[in-house]
Structure 1
Amino acid sequence: MSAPPAGNQLFRRKPVAEMVEETGAGADGAAATGAGDRGGRALARRMGVGQLMGLGIGATIGTGIFFVMTTAVPEAGPAVIVSFVLAAVTAGFTALCYAELASTIPVAGSSYSYAYATLGELVAYVVGWCLVLEYAVSSAAVSVGWSEYLNELLDDTVGLRIPDTLSFAPGAGGVVNLPAIVLVTLCALLLVRGASESARANAVMVVLKIAVLLFFAAVALSAFDAGNLSPFAPLGAAGIGVAASSIFFSFIGLDAVSTAGEEVRDPRRTLPRAIIGSLVVVTTVYLLVAVAAVGAQAAGAFEGQEAGLAVILEDVTGSRWPAIVLAAGAVISIFSVTLVTMYGQTRILFAMSRDGLIPSLFARVDPRTLTPVRGTVAVALFVGLLAGFVPLDFLIDLTSMGTLVAFLVVSVGVMVLRSTRPDLPRGFRVPAYPAVPLLSIAFCLYLLSGLPGVTWLLFAGWLTVAAVVYVTYSRTHSRLREPR
């Protein structure tokens, strides 16, 4: 039988029942703990609410707080606190939308899979590429920040620093960021061992990072000076919006939770609880640390400050040991962020590969570890190149772009699926519908408008590459071209 016309294929949706059936799950979303007999293309459901919340918190806390203050405070001043609130409100509206779609479509792929079920192949394909960008660039950005804190820790403990030529990208005064590449390699090795093993390691690191950040807040608040909050918003509302746009990448953990849809027990209940729980914990810690930081140090001192939170502790206490504790905690906790964001990217590629939109190697699961080993290696190579050779500022804004586009599509998807498939079982429903998804869309568009022009140009270039791949490969390999 001939393939459907290209125009029909672009907007053809993938049935939700088929998505769930591919995972080996029943109609209620439950599944056996094994991988099932899916030709090496099914993941194992082994994680519960605690491990899943650990993934969300692990992917989020550390991405922003440990080093984004040095770029966000110069943009917004002490009003960076409001920027975090604005980003958190946007993430909150979107989290509710994620919770509904995750409980309705409990599969790998996050917003890519949700878009395929609601908006069709073209939108899903674009969202998939946005997610690949989001996770790859976020992993690289966090690895670069890890390198800074590692240098701070080595300097404070043994009086040594890795030479700038080996700890900075070419555009930032070095040749290659070698520590960042080492971190990516270590995360890849752990991910290859298995998802549940990675989740347990991440859970330990999450506890450590929260303890370290609470320690920072307690010490910094002891030196709180209200004078540091004036002028509160030197660049006005525009500065607050720009800062909120650049720090929004620190809420990527919400998406990371939903990428684990096929590796969670009882996903229709577990996913919504983990998504909302992660957001509450993350927002609380972020605001506490942000208030403590801007209260303890003048806004003008943040710009260009390397390993900023550790420096604040050293200045406040006049002693090096608190800074050592903070730097050590950052080295450990930022490791967990890289681990989870790389995990998320491999699962996005897994879902796209299973649908035929990218080569099949990304969907092949190792029979022993039940993980996509080849896909993980490919991700590590790509992320390692970005981390080693691209400066941090470009990476942060590109991550925000990919994240906001994905969040925007999820909010639209909730409304479309409510209209087209009101009969589907939902473990969670967005409250105050349709106000919440509409507000989520509006906030995402507002934050997108605050991103710089160069980020839009780089994003356009990325989508151009995506279009070439679709025309030359995906269009003819998509599984939706063949009648079921």
Structure 2
Amino acid sequence: MGLISLIALSVGATLGTGIFVVLGEAAPLAGPAVVVSFAVAALAALFSALSYAELAGAVPVSGSAYSYTYATLGEIVAWVCGWCLLLEYGVSVAAVAVGWGSYLNEFLGSTIGWRIPDALSSAPSDGGIINLPAAVVVLIATAVLLDGIRESARVTTVTTMIKIAVLIFFVVVAVTAFNSDNLHPFAPMGVAGVSAAASMVFFSFIGFDAASTAGEEAKNPQRDLPRAIIISLGIVTLVYVLVALTAVAAVGVDDVSSSGASLATVLEQVAGRGWPATILAAGAVIAIASVVLTVLYGQTRILVSMSRDGLMPSVLSRVGRKRVPTVNTLVVGGVVAVLSALVPLGELVNATNIGTLVSFALVNIGVLVLRRTKPDLPRTFRTLVPLVPILGVGLCVWLLAHLPGVTWLAFALWSGVGLVVYFGYGRRRSALNRVAERETV
């Protein structure tokens, strides 16, 4: 993949449920100041993106933050990071798939007047039996990935351009109903509300690092990976701020948060239940499906790296004739399909955020360590050290502090399971341990 494909991969993995759905979840927390929450989350992502860019240029391999921490902080820290990334990528795919189901229902309702029954489109805790659309889109994305990375990259590039066009269309329509009265009071919940919303909408920026998982498929990884990460984050931030501002100003916070398909609801308020809302829903169905594809791709490549290091079973890194890790892809697709079918959106978003913020903090620390231990290592991009990594860690910790207690409890349980797997399986079978044993002999 060249620079354009890598940018499309990152933008494609980022632009999706975050703005199409999570905006409606976060707006009640901050009021109109949810726009500021997006800016704060973007700032936190920016510092981590700069650290990612330096490590992507210095350690241009697949595996994203896992590989970077392995190279800089050692095996056990890399395991913790990789375990967090499994949570980030796997759970975020499930969250994205749940959002896709909401827009599919909106599209079906506006075109043929029929919606999938709640029993078959909602998680059990939301009053349904199974979220069938969410599971189906994950299985479709799994099938596309099994067809090879070249085909997946082409699909991603096309769908990314479609989703940007759809969001620009939304801004153009929504701005016609711009009403500054809807922006007052601007921050009814104060700084606490803005912070809580920022912790939630950080989910919207997850995926900009997807290019860093494609080190082995990139034509010129040292040159193109840093560029792709920074350019994609800039594109995404601009789109998010414009969409959030025009949505809230057009209809107010209450209407933005009244539906799972929040942006389609905004256009229904602005233009009536007509073609604008239908176009938006159709575009969202395509856009969010592409996020499922790209983030699922990232998940499989992280597992490949962990498997090659001996921390996961070797079968997960075996590739077929199309250079696709077939067993890995099938396992990931199956697990994520079950999650998306049974767990509601809000819980998935918060679980994703905590795993992501921990892994981002470790990447920032990795930059500091590598600058100290390998100061002469060739780097195609250099961030401002130590300022940027320290600010990156600080903002990650700040956002972590505003996540709910139940999310921390779930993360503690997940981490405990991860440590049991590491000490019970990975540590004894790791490549690093095998090298140490040979040297001892």
Counterpart of 1:444 (choices 377, 396, 407) is 396
Cα distance in 2, alignment partners of residues 419 and 218 from structure 1:
49
2:14·2:205 contact (CA, 8 Å) conserved in 1?
Answer: yes
**SS of alignment partner, residue 145 of structure 1:** helix
> What displacement does 1:302 show?
3.0
Q: TM-score, normalised by structure 2?
A: 0.98
**SS of alignment partner, residue 222 of structure 1:** helix
Query: Residues 413-444 of structure 1, C-alpha deviation per residue, up to 9 Å, x if partnerless?
Result: 000000000111111111x3211111111111
Letter in 2 for 1:157: T
Counterpart of 2:366 (choices 410, 413, 423) is 413
**SS of alignment partner, residue 346 of structure 1:** helix
Give the number of the structure whose residues are more often helix, by fraction.
2
Query: Residues 161-189 of structure 1, C-alpha deviation per residue, up to 9 Å, x if partnerless?
Result: 10111000101110000011110010000
For 1:76-475, list aligned pairs within 5 A. Answer: 76-366=30-320, 368-430=321-383, 432-475=384-427
> What displacement does 1:306 show?
2.4
> What displacement does 1:53 show?
0.3
Cα distance in 1, alignment partners of residues 427 and 52 from structure 2:
28
> What displacement does 1:300 show?
2.2
**SS of alignment partner, residue 193 of structure 1:** coil
For 1:52-91, list aligned pairs within 5 A. Answer: 52-91=6-45
After alignment, is 147-156 or 314-323 more displaced?
314-323
2:256·2:263 contact (CA, 8 Å) conserved in 1?
Answer: no
Query: Residues 252-310 of structure 1, C-alpha deviation per residue, up to 9 Å, x if partnerless?
Result: 12221111111101111010110011011101111110111010011122334221111
> What displacement does 1:445 show?
0.7
Q: Which runs of 5+ in 2 are unaligned?
A: none
Letter in 1 for 2:37: S
Cα distance in 2, alignment partners of residues 97 and 126 from structure 1:
18
After alignment, is 142-151 or 472-481 more displaced?
472-481
Letter in 2 for 1:474: G
Cα distance in 2, alignment partners of residues 362 and 251 from structure 1:
28
Match of 1:20 in 2: none
After alignment, is 145-154 or 432-441 more displaced?
432-441
4+ aligned runs moved over 3 Å, structure 1: none
Cα distance in 1, alignment partners of residues 169 and 86 from structure 2:
34
Q: Which runs of 5+ in 1 are unaligned?
A: 1-46
Query: Residues 312-331 of structure 1, C-alpha deviation per residue, up to 9 Å, x if partnerless?
Result: 11110124110000000000
2:142·2:293 contact (CA, 8 Å) conserved in 1?
Answer: yes
> What displacement does 1:409 show?
0.6
Cα distance in 2, alignment partners of residues 390 and 100 from structure 1:
36
Cα distance in 2, alignment partners of residues 104 and 195 from structure 1:
24
Cα distance in 1, alignment partners of residues 256 and 287 from structure 2:
22
> What displacement does 1:475 show?
1.4
Cα distance in 2, alignment partners of residues 310 and 63 from structure 1:
13
Cα distance in 1, alignment partners of residues 252 and 187 from structure 2:
13
Letter in 2 for 1:369: K
**SS of alignment partner, residue 146 of structure 2:** helix
Cα distance in 1, alignment partners of residues 277 and 142 from structure 2:
29
Cα distance in 2, alignment partners of residues 344 and 176 from structure 1:
26
CA-atom RMSD, angstroms? 0.9
2:16·2:288 contact (CA, 8 Å) conserved in 1?
Answer: yes
After alignment, is 85-94 or 246-255 more displaced?
246-255
Q: TM-score, normalised by structure 1?
A: 0.89
Letter in 2 for 1:224: F
